[in-house]
Amino acid sequence: MALNKLKFNSINVTPAASEALKFNSSANGFETGSAGGAMTFIKKLTASSDSTLSFVDGSSDVVLDNTYKEYIFHVINAHPSADAKNFGFQGSTDSGSSYATTITSTHFQARHDEAGSGSHQTLDYQAGRDLAQSTSLQRLTETIGADNDESCSGILHLFNPSSTTFVKHFIWVANGVQDTPLSVNSFCAGYFNTTSAIDAIQFKFESANIDSGDIVLYGIN
């Protein structure tokens, strides 16, 4: 039997953009299938000297229920009305009547100032921004400056908030301009320690308004 030669450089084994590899146990190998994971726009809120920005399931076209297992909030250039203010969030289990759900979390950050000062080139754990079974505001950033060019931007992932079996995990990563000024890369993660559904999320600065900025909510299929 003759053997055919293959030109390996001419073989394209990359799945199409609309496909992804998945494992087929019966075939003991991988095959292509639907990629999933599509990002669906839900709601955009734009601040204009607002004390809070809130996403409440079923209100103003907001979806925050079992439609999606993961929700993503994009915070874009949140700017405080006063200098040196922490930006944070909290969740609600009563459709936004109160935002005081029990949280346990961790927080660390990397810092570097505009002058390249060695004293501000740090990577450290932030004990003052973690929570241990607390209903306080979850701080997400270093103290953000209020100069015209200062703000913070970041991404918050919230997982399966409608579950009535498990706690609700979240992950945050952001960069902000501290009032010094510093570039501060913030990392926060934790969970709402409740088996009640989280049906509303609220963002705010401590002791200041959100002078300007956008927060955009997406659902992940």
Checking if the pLDDT of 29 tops 90, the result is no
The percentage of the chain sitting over the pLDDT mark of 70, rounded to a whole number, equals: 84
Which amino acid belongs to residue 115?
A: A
The predicted model scores a pTM of 0.84
What the block records as the tokens of 133 is: 């079974």
Confidence of residue 17 (pLDDT cuts 50, 70, 90): very low
Rounded Cα–Cα distance for residues 3 and 1 (Å): 7
Instruction: Summarize pLDDT for 137-179 with one digit per residue, the tens.
Output: 999 999 999 999 999 999 999 999 999 999 999 999 999 999 9
Rounded Cα–Cα distance for residues 14 and 42 (Å): 31
Checking if the pLDDT of 2 tops 50, the result is yes
pLDDT score, position 21: 47
Buried b (16+ CB within 10 A) or exposed e, 78-100: bbbbeebbbbbbbbbbeebeebe
Question: How far is CA 151 from each of CA 61, 82, 146, rounded to the nearest angstrom?
Answer: 27, 11, 7
pLDDT score, position 37: 75
